[in-house]
Amino acid sequence: MTKINRTVSVAPMMDCTDRHDRFFLRLMSKNVMLYTEMVATKSAIHGDRKKILSFSPEEKPLALQVGGSDKNELSEVAKISEGMGYDEININLGCPSKKVQKNKFGACLMKEPDLVSECIGEMINSCKIPVTAKTRIGFDDTEDFNYLNNFILKIKESGCKKIILHARKAMLKGLSPKQNLSIPKLNYEMVYEIKKENPDLEIIINGGISKTEEIKNHLKLCDGVMIGRAIYQNPYFLVDIEKEIFKVKNNPSREEVAEKLLQYLEKEVKLGTKVNHIMRHTVGLYHGQIGSKNWKRYLSANMMARDSDFQKAKHIMTIVQNNEKTNQAIA
């Protein structure tokens, strides 16, 4: 079993953290923990498992995030995830979308702590890999430490020892999933208090974290940090994390990342993968750098259509090399 280091992890993000994005992120960090997009239990059990659940060895350590509230289905998916080689299975107790609520999983399960405890207990009894939970600090009008702590204790009763806390409450009515990522105010102090009250639990803090100094500060009071949008929008931020948090000295340049990605792209295209399915994840590679506009412009014009030609992808190395020369000259 792969040793898991949860000091820093990349959050599960719908339509973002698919297998191509995870491969891309691994080119810049060997140490962060990666998570899949949320997969509904019924999809994992009855769907095309190769398409939905497959991953490459390079992506590990890797956790499968699952959404559901049927203990038997969750138990079955726990077995499946272990059999497929995942290093962890994580239950989503934080997504606020109406579609997710309709299917009775995500943040609405914060209203049903007994059911959550029962479901997680069944998952733990079904596999040997770690079972973890990702939730929020509250929902709607409920943002109360005692309620949250009692909810955490119910999760703990199930045998789950590792919990990811998004430091915002979930608004189940009136806000879209996107709005739920910014409008509810961050409350890091509540997460710190949960850790203080439950020192035996591994508490990972999530929400609005975008700088290495912020990571260092959170790590003084929590066991780990999970980052989502800041990494998807600026994937090379992972190299800063490798340097500052994991103390890795030899890190890849953007040019080296692009070279390896191009090799992966060529292999995947031969297997039938569309160019845009991979390249859409790379838009932020030059985030904040000179040459960012040229990079985005070329991707938009040549790499984002369904019928994008791999031959045009080869030209990205010219753009990368020009960008690298320009930024090095300025530095």
- Whether pLDDT at 44 is above 80: yes
For residue 3, pLDDT over 80 is answered with no
Active site positions, annotated: 95
- Reported as a pLDDT band with limits 50, 70 and 90, residue 2 is low
Q: Is the peptide bond before 177 cis (omega within 30 degrees of 0)?
A: no
Report pLDDT for 1.
57
**Residues whose CB is less than 8 angstroms from the CB of residue 119 and which lie 6 or more positions away in sequence, other chains included:** 68, 69, 70, 71, 74, 91, 158
Q: Which CATH number fits domain 254-330: 1.10.238.10, 1.20.120.1460, 1.25.10.10, 3.40.50.40?
A: 1.20.120.1460
Q: Is residue 129 within 8 Å of residue 86, measured between CB atoms?
A: yes
pLDDT tens, 305-326? Answer: 888 888 888 788 888 888 877 7
Tokens at residue 245, please? 């948090």
The fraction of the chain above a pLDDT of 90, given in percent, is 80
Q: 97-106, 191-200, 290-299, 321-330 — which one is most confidently predicted on average?
A: 191-200
Strands ordered across the beta sheet of 34-40: 8-10, 224-227, 202-206, 162-166, 131-136, 88-93, 62-67, 34-40
Distance, CA of 313 to CA of 200 (rounded, Å)? 49
Structure tokens at 270: 């031969």
Q: What is the pLDDT of residues 61-81, one digit of tens each?
A: 999 999 999 999 999 999 999
Classify residue 140 as left (phi > 0), alpha (psi -120 to 50) or beta. Answer: left
**Domain range 8-244, its CATH number among 3.40.50.2020, 3.30.450.20, 3.90.550.10, 3.20.20.70:** 3.20.20.70
For the chain, what are the domain ranges?
8-244, 254-330
